[in-house]
Structure 1
């Protein structure tokens, strides 16, 4: 059995002269939560559609659980929610799921299990058209969870959820991973993904800029020093930092010194007569790293609505 749940190799999608996805090679390992990150229109959804075999790539290849993209999988092997969930508006949430369950070979007990998993049991008999955006999203996730699939692909799963709902979704994704399931989720909310993902891939303008663990992406910790006089403090920090960088920021001096250097640095500053106002350990967020990675990339992003419309015309039958 391959250790990878999903892979793409030089996956590319062109719409006329526009390259929506540009030679993306990504690897999702079994049992991990993989965050596919990027702004709206970056190519996330088109990549996921190609991975799932819903859209034909212009070039390149993709596979899921060892099978080429588009090859049928046994029911309950792969679950997915791509863009918005599509259900019959005049049926209840429960009836919609029962319709899907019959098609996939599952019983009513599985419907009740997934309704409970997304906290919709009490609203299951309400018509879908009366659901809030967040409830519709949760019902879509419930559909993706039918059969306890090995791989779950979620496109912007927190879309439309309030803060409490987002927290519940984060907890659900973590629980799925703990149960041994693999979760591939796309998002433009980098702060959200930072809390739950093992590894991430950052995409912008259709190109995969980097793929690594969250810790590697964010880099190590730094020390921030707020002290006066600044010139004296800078000299002492630079001497302690040796060949490490020291940067002036609006919040103070930031160096790449490790956290355990703080006591010695504090003593050196005080001994030199410097007034120390703060020494703090700081870490870059994924959002900060993303902005650093995409600085200078100014190609206009695709309109996600028009890109989705083009995708829909090319659905693999």
Structure 2
């Protein structure tokens, strides 16, 4: 697949202090990639380099086949910061018309952009009356100008209510299906867990993990949690067949390693109708993130 963003051996130093060290990855066309890391891990520094706002100290960065900050890269890249700010006296439509003119686009497309982000009904209202979530959606609308091929999004759902967050990710899905690449930084791990194709984890300026959620689970090799619901009267018999199981609240709780998972499933299946239900809880993205970040810090 064609890479929209390619980073190789990226290093950035500030007065001798390394903010990024030897970071390498690529983002393919149509791929949704989550960039995770604690505050100070290097996420913002990386985004600034991708956008051409600051230079790299070493390594190679290619954005849509061009150098970061070049006219070609700026034409193809869109950015949405965590806290989008606009002139409070302008209406949503006026603000978008201004941005469209600055990009050499037809200003009459402002209403269509606002409709895509669910703000058509508020287009004539002054932005000063908008909530934070509404301002964030104005920011997303301006990021869509010119059909960008790479969207760099920094905590993009900050201030959005649950319904707006769902609509936001649905829009990202549509953009990715159309071939746009998405690099998204977020602390909302439960959101990105199900809505991204690949996950990058930074810690202290270094890439400590990269892959799909399935790949990261396999690599982390964290235990799987199981909740077994016994039929009435069979709890003790089931527990005897599942060493280490703990009974609480009418359920039997146990954990097993990834390598033992199928064998444990087989033992549970062998109990037949004595088992009323089985819930499998694989490691969450939060568990995986804590694992890799903690391991790097040791």
CA shift digits 1:8-46 (9 cap, x unpaired): 122222233533223221211111111111233322122
TM-score by length of 1: 0.78
Partner of residue 268, structure 2: 266
Determine whether 1:157 maps to 2:156: yes
Equivalent runs, 1:51-90 vs 2, <5 Å? 51-73=50-72, 77-90=76-89
Give unmatched runs, 5+ long, in structure 1.
237-249, 300-317
Confirm or deny: 8 A CA contact 2:226 2:280 kept in the other structure. yes
1:233 positional shift: 2.3
Confirm or deny: 8 A CA contact 2:82 2:158 kept in the other structure. no
Equivalent runs, 1:72-111 vs 2, <5 Å? 72-73=71-72, 77-111=76-110
SS at match of 2:55: coil
SS at match of 1:193: helix
Partner of residue 186, structure 2: 187
Q: For 2:205 and 2:128, how far apart are their aligned partners in 1? A: 34
Confirm or deny: 8 A CA contact 1:262 1:279 kept in the other structure. no
1:121 positional shift: 1.2
Q: For 2:254 and 2:145, how far apart are their aligned partners in 1? A: 51
Q: For 1:216 and 1:137, how far apart are their aligned partners in 2? A: 32
- In the superposition, relative to structure 1, how do residues 74 and 9 fare at CA in structure 2: closer, same or farther (>3 Å)? closer
CA shift digits 1:166-185 (9 cap, x unpaired): 11111111111122221111
1:105 positional shift: 0.5
SS at match of 1:161: coil
Confirm or deny: 8 A CA contact 2:200 2:209 kept in the other structure. yes
Determine whether 1:133 maps to 2:132: yes
Give unmatched runs, 5+ long, in structure 2.
229-234, 246-251
Partner of residue 310, structure 1: none
1:298 positional shift: 5.3
CA shift digits 1:256-295 (9 cap, x unpaired): 268765663125568xxxx868643332211111111112
CA shift digits 1:143-199 (9 cap, x unpaired): 110121122111111011111111111111111112222111111111111111011
Equivalent runs, 1:162-311 vs 2, <5 Å? 162-219=161-218, 222=224, 224=226, 228=236, 233-234=242-243, 251-256=253-258, 264-266=266-268, 268=270, 279-295=278-294
- In the superposition, relative to structure 1, how do residues 296 and 228 fare at CA in structure 2: closer, same or farther (>3 Å)? farther
Q: Compare 8-17 and 139-148 and name the one that shifted more.
A: 8-17
Give aligned pairs, total. 282
SS at match of 1:73: helix
1:88 positional shift: 1.9
Confirm or deny: 8 A CA contact 2:51 2:74 kept in the other structure. no
Confirm or deny: 8 A CA contact 1:93 1:127 kept in the other structure. yes
Q: Compare 260-269 and 117-126 and name the one that shifted more.
A: 260-269
Q: Compare 173-182 and 72-81 and name the one that shifted more.
A: 72-81
Partner of residue 240, structure 1: none
Confirm or deny: 8 A CA contact 2:64 2:73 kept in the other structure. no
Partner of residue 32, structure 1: 31
TM-score by length of 2: 0.83
Equivalent runs, 1:36-55 vs 2, <5 Å? 36-55=35-54
